[in-house]
Structure 1
Amino acid sequence: MAADHLRERYRAPSLLIGHSLGGAAVLATASEIREACAVVSIAAPSDPAHVTHLFAESMAEIEAHGQAEVNVGGRPFIIGKEFLDDLREQEQRDRIAQLGLPLLLLHSPQDAIVGIDNAADIYTAARHPKSFISLDGADHLLTHPRHAERVAQLITAWVDPYLADRD
């Protein structure tokens, strides 16, 4: 795990931030990182298997050949069968309910890759403290610099009370 590598060489992360499937990943692993004091999820699916619809036309090739190149958000990715199997096995709702850390959800109502209903599902499953901020006008990849800068500013302001005593 990346946190173990950081713990051994510097220090473990105290703030976990993930975008898209990375957001699902930090939600799934946060409880395993004892030093974590807060979690930020940006445009994450509530059920990681949800994203398989993005490469539905390649599913037969993935199953038959073990992998295929797919296009997600205008970018090519190699998706393997093991990745699909891992997505199908996730019990995300239970992990979110047991998170036990402050959670910030950032999601755009215009996200065409992972719908805003995913943020609602995560928010409903999570316990307080939790916050949701709508990234109105942003796309899934935050391709406009103004949207990426806004996300950075929002995270910085939100996390301040959780990191204040950590240094």
Structure 2
Amino acid sequence: MAFLRFLMGFLALGTVGYLALVLVVYLSQSSYLYPSASEPVPPGAAEKAGFEAVAIETEDGIRIHGWWKPPQPGRALILYFHGNGGNLLNRAERARMLTEEGRGLLLVSYRGYSGAGGTPSEEGLRRDALAAYRFLSSYDPARIVVYGESLGSGVGVRLASERRVGGVILDAPFTSVPDVARRVFWYLPVDLLARDRYRSIDRIGAIGAPLLILHGEEDGLIPVALGERLFAAAKEPKRFVALPGVDHVGVLEEGGLPHARALLAEVERSFASAASGLDRR
């Protein structure tokens, strides 16, 4: 009898501890999903990198920050959404790489990032993406190529499923937040706990523009298998590039850039062909 009481007490204590852990993870999940770099960007940093600093107001009154460079004639225009650990400063080299052939780029940071107000959330980042898209409203959507990196892939997939674009590049994308979280918190009911889900797997089929997915085979954060599942759910035209020996953060720099440029060139040819057809009418 004494042993039974001990066992029941032990199980009760374990249950209380488990429920406390579930509560802690539930309440702190935003800090895992959005470890934002909230420090303001130093004045002149955009100009030093060859861009113009811009402020973009969202429909709910948040002013987010971006770096902007218009495209040269006939070149594509990249709308770049960075990952959850990114910001304007630490994506400056990527912005330079993507624009060095005359292409335009709007590198946008989210609410709560790079000195912007507000608190990140899935709906908030959707509004940020829509505001960035509106910023480019003077350009033909057929020139716009969405580039979504890691968390930004979820932002980019949703935007491209709801608005017209000329192409989509996804860098280390995922199917959904619970699918990623389950690898770390395998002992928790993550499907029940996740507030922000970014279910790209449910939305990518609505994208009709040419799609390129880049994924490092040694990605320890978002396994390449999730990128492959997302690719399988997408429509043609599409291409998947697995990069041997590449981890989560080096996709563009360690082999992805030529493939990204090929997709951008494809969009430019398509846009030029359509414009030429209109001129002949």
Are the aligned partners of 2:210 and 2:237 in contact in 1 as well (CA < 8 Å)? yes
The C-alpha deviation readout for 1:11-49, integer Å capped at 9, x for no partner, is 766100011111122112102232x11101010111133
Q: Check conservation: 1:18, 1:42, Cα contact below 8 A.
A: yes
2:227 maps to 1:97 = no
Larger Rg, first or second structure (1 or 2) = 2
Equivalence for 1:135: 243
Counterparts of residues 82-121 of structure 1 (less than 5 Å): 84-87=194-197, 90-121=198-229
1:30 aligns with 2:160: yes
CA deviation string 1:84-122 (max 9, x = no partner)? 5122xx442231112111110100111000001111111
User: What SS does the aligned partner of 1:18 have?
Assistant: strand
CA distance in structure 2 between the partners assigned to 1:101 and 1:30 by the alignment: 8
Contact 2:174 2:200 in 1 (8 A): no
The one-letter amino acid of 1:24's match is: G
Amino acid of the structure 2 residue aligned with 1:164? R
Please say if residues 161 and 204 of structure 2, whose CA atoms lie closer than 8 Å, have aligned partners that are also in contact: no
Counterpart code for 1:19: E
Alignment match of 1:42 (pick from 171, 188, 194)? 171
The one-letter code matched in structure 2 to 1:37 is G
Q: In the aligned structure 2, how far is the partner of 1:113 from the partner of 1:160?
A: 30
Deviations 1:57-92 (A, max 9, x none): xx9xxxxxxxxxxxxxxxxxxxxx9xx5122xx442
Please provide the CA RMSD for this pair.
2.8
Q: Supply the AA of the counterpart residue of 2:209.
A: L
SS in 1 for 2:248: coil
Question: Are 1:46 and 1:121, in contact at CA under 8 Å, matched by a contact in 2?
Answer: yes
AA aligned to 2:175 is S
TM-score using structure 1 length? 0.69
1:52 aligns with 2:157: no
Contact 1:24 1:48 in 2 (8 A): no
Match of 2:264 in 1: 159
Superposed structure 1 runs of 4+ greater than 3 Å apart: 10-13, 51-56
Q: Equivalent residue for 2:106?
A: none
Structure 1: any 5+ residue segments left out of the alignment?
60-80
SS in 1 for 2:178: helix
Residue 18 of structure 1: which of 128, 140, 148 is its match? 148
User: Unpaired runs of 5+ in structure 2?
Assistant: 1-129, 273-281
Evaluate the alpha carbon distance shift between residue 4 and residue 55 of structure 1 in structure 2; reply closer, same or farther with a 3 A threshold: farther
How many Å apart are 1:131 and its aligned residue? 0.2
